[in-house]
Structure 1
Amino acid sequence: MSIHHNTNNNIPFLDLVTPHVELEQELTSVFLRALRSASFIGGPMVENFEKAFASFCETNYSIAVSNGTDALRFAIMTCGVQPGDVVLTVPHTFIATAEAISQAGALPEFIDVDKCTYNMSVEMLQQHLEEQCTRSRSGKLLSLRSGRPVTAIVPVHLYGQMADMDSILRLAAKYGLTVIEDACQAHGAEYFSKNHNRWMKAGSMGRAAAFSFYPGKNLGACGEAGAVTTNDIGVADKIRMLRDHGQATKYYHEIEGCNGRIDAIQAGLLHAKLNHLTKWNADRQNHAAEYNRLLANNNAVTLPHEPAWSRSVYHLYVIRTIDRDGMMEHLKNAGIGTGIHYPLPLHMQKAYASLNYCVNDFPVAKSVASEIISLPMFPQLTTEQQIKVAAEIHNFTSKAPPEHSGYEENLVGAVERVA
């Protein structure tokens, strides 16, 4: 995977240099303000960014924190999930989703993903709630797998596209569960809610939502940063305390918290970039449409599926093909950077061997992981670059396919390592 400024005819997977060079004066002014005021922790730059990001997400509150994992962990901790509770999420996501659940003291249980959107399958969620859960005498929803209370759902808005939130919220309401959005890849994504009869932003539909501002995100810091959005003032106030050692006022600690604050400089940089995010997202959407056009007639690849209720912001443009490894090698030899997001589902990772899942428990996630390729996607991508990417994909798929991609051998090795 290549992540750099394009200085030759190669096409990087992600260009992080060009946008920073284009905004150099704006970003440099943030550093100067911080240096001249010695405002490095908290203060106006943090407060102003929080207000602006809340407005962008169409929520009442935004609380900036140290990174996206902390954002999700804090959201879980403040939305009624108790240590030992079960939180339902997906196996096809970055490990931080499950880490945040575990580090909040809860237990992740997985729901398979939809074969078209790769987000949480509403059908599998419903089936899990109906067949893998029961009610205690007191009415609590319990997991048959672990015997623990089930209290929350964390849908992941993967690759920049929101999960089917109306359906998930309907099931959550039926079973008395809290919904916390993992919106770490979905800054500005939209979902048409029939319940509200309008388009709604990622981060505005659950009780709380987590965002990551890792440098490669649609809105990226120049380091680590994250934020929680919510319309619940109680959740917002508690996260403000959690991120700052549990103190509501200096040296008076109402709860035991941690150091999860954002640096003021990062908040200032994010605020400057936020003014450009709508255009950057539109550029990504245009690039996705161009890829769709260029690859439309290639039956050897499956293009991203965007339902009518979705406006994806294409944090990643992910295709599927049978010989994924062969295609990646071909593109690499042509000077084209690619990525895999993600090569091994969480239920198959050694880190979660203690959950005792079987390899085939989530067949869609397993199948997706063996075939996906993330193509170059960033706002400054040119049409000429996309034409070259598409041409090389067509060149590769026009050849006779190999007997296999080697994924099954890699899979066996991974399973043996887990065991």
Structure 2
Amino acid sequence: MKKIPFVSLEHQNAIIKKEVEADILNTIASNHFILGNKLEQFEKEYATFSNTAFCVGVGNGLDALKLSLIALGIKEGDEVIAPAHTFIATILAIMEVGAKPILVDVNPDTYNIDCLQIENFISAKTKAIIVVHLYGNPCDMDLIESIARKNNILLIEDNAQAHGATYKGRKTGSFGILNATSFYPAKNLGCFGDGGAITTNSNTLYEELQKLRNYGSAKKYFSDVSGCNSRLDEIQAGILSIKLQHIEKWNDERRKMASYYLSLLDPRIKKQRISSFNSPVYHLFTIECKERDKLQTFLSSKGIDTQIHYPIPPHLQKACLSLGYKEGDFPVTEMLSNSLLSIPLFIGLQYNEIEYIANQINVFYKKNDLFI
């Protein structure tokens, strides 16, 4: 029995292998590995791709979020609103700058932050809101922007799962005053290690972030502010420039694979709802199942690898105990943590494999009377 992995970069990397190898050798020959021409080139390219004026490459997605908060002056005593259902990095970034994450439950259909609840959590201490375009599905940005303007709070996008997604024709990662992303290898746009970036239209914030990522220094050995060492290196920047040339095509392939899944899976199986004005990029394709763990075991027995995103929500993680949340505080998030299963969707996944996966899922649902 052939095993179908949850994710594989083999096919994607084969497409760009020769170009990447040549580019890495070129970087080695240049003897310039940090803050060089390749980073500058990629930053310009990614800013253009994101429809923003500026991009600052950093070490990883967590640093992109954290440095965004620092650049905006978010500090101890401040509150930052964020969705309860997200990867924990969104929450850790807020905690690391000393601010308090104020979590909001998510919409049970879109899995994104429940916009109708946001204003209930805004206080005099609220300085910003971080929105996450979960699994590559854009949030309702019109409503979120309106809430942010009305309450005079800063808008930050966590765009780590949505490279190239659009909301009403506009790219995610272009709405916030700052927009953080990750280039972890399995992302739609991923490097060959850790990497991240921040996009913005503010020249002032762009210059501040350039200093913050590099020991607080705009000029070598002269530190104007207390910064850190978080720089996207030349090898990763070169690889990302190469991949960026393919990202739109790869995203289209993801959409086609997702559409094929949707045509094959029994319509009674609940999936993430996509608004008609969104063009998602399907970083993940998830289904809901009240017998999720049994389904995962069943699919594994059929040679299909799956993953759970995320088995323990941030508010119940040991790292977040100091926030004071408890089980039951976010019922939709907790329900999703117990029922969502991510199934294979990656560049190189074959359509006959999608047919096989969908068929096995349908068989499990029918066999276990999950449609009743």
**TM-score bracket for the superposition, by shorter chain length:** over 0.9
Match of 1:76 in 2: 69
Contact 2:266 2:362 in 1 (8 A): no
Aligned-partner Cα distance in 1 for 2:87–2:295: 23
Match of 2:262 in 1: 292
Q: Specify which of 2, 6, 10 is matched with residue 9 of structure 1.
A: 2
Match of 1:359 in 2: 327
Superposed counterparts of 1:225-264, under 5 Å: 225-264=195-234
Contact 1:79 1:207 in 2 (8 A): no
Contact 1:88 1:153 in 2 (8 A): yes
Please say if 1:267 is aligned against 2:260.
Answer: no
Instruction: Give the aligned residue type for 1:347.
Output: H
Match of 1:122 in 2: 115
Aligned-partner Cα distance in 1 for 2:145–2:208: 23
Aligned-partner Cα distance in 1 for 2:120–2:165: 27
Match of 2:49 in 1: 56
Q: CA deviation at 1:43?
A: 1.0
Give the TM-score of the pair, scaled to structure 1.
Answer: 0.87
Match of 1:341 in 2: 309
Aligned-partner Cα distance in 2 for 1:400–1:17: 35
Paired residue total = 370
Match of 1:178 in 2: 154
Specify every segment of 5 or more residues in structure 1 that has no aligned partner in the other structure, as ranges.
1-7, 134-140, 142-148, 193-198, 403-419
Please say if 1:168 is aligned against 2:136.
Answer: no
Q: Specify which of 386, 389, 411 is matched with residue 357 of structure 2.
A: 389
Match of 1:205 in 2: 175
Q: CA deviation at 1:358?
A: 2.1
Contact 1:178 1:207 in 2 (8 A): yes
Please say if 1:47 is aligned against 2:23.
Answer: no
SS at match of 2:118: helix
SS at match of 1:63: strand
Match of 1:316 in 2: 284
Q: CA deviation at 1:80?
A: 3.4
Aligned-partner Cα distance in 1 for 2:313–2:76: 25
SS at match of 2:3: coil
Q: Once the two structures are aligned, what percentage of the paired residues are identical? A: 39
Match of 1:99 in 2: 92
Aligned-partner Cα distance in 1 for 2:59–2:77: 25
SS at match of 1:13: coil
Please say if 1:280 is aligned against 2:280.
Answer: no
Contact 2:137 2:162 in 1 (8 A): yes
Match of 1:66 in 2: 59
SS at match of 1:210: strand
SS at match of 1:394: helix
Contact 2:216 2:228 in 1 (8 A): yes
SS at match of 1:154: strand
Instruction: Give the aligned residue type for 1:164.
Output: D
Give the TM-score of the pair, scaled to structure 2.
Answer: 0.97
Match of 1:414 in 2: none
Aligned-partner Cα distance in 1 for 2:261–2:243: 26
Please say if 1:26 is aligned against 2:19.
Answer: yes
Aligned-partner Cα distance in 2 for 1:67–1:104: 16
Superposed counterparts of 1:210-221, under 5 Å: 210-221=180-191
Aligned-partner Cα distance in 2 for 1:52–1:354: 41
Match of 1:151 in 2: 127
Contact 1:11 1:335 in 2 (8 A): yes
Q: CA deviation at 1:401?
A: 4.7
CA displacement 1:142-179 (0-9 Å, x = unmatched) = xxxxxxx1100001111011111111111111111001
Q: CA deviation at 1:213?
A: 0.2
CA displacement 1:355-382 (0-9 Å, x = unmatched) = 1112111111111111100010112111
Aligned-partner Cα distance in 2 for 1:296–1:56: 36
Q: CA deviation at 1:344?
A: 1.3
What is the RMSD of the two structures over their aligned residues, measured on CA atoms?
A: 1.2
Q: CA deviation at 1:261?
A: 0.8
SS at match of 2:156: strand
Match of 2:366 in 1: 398
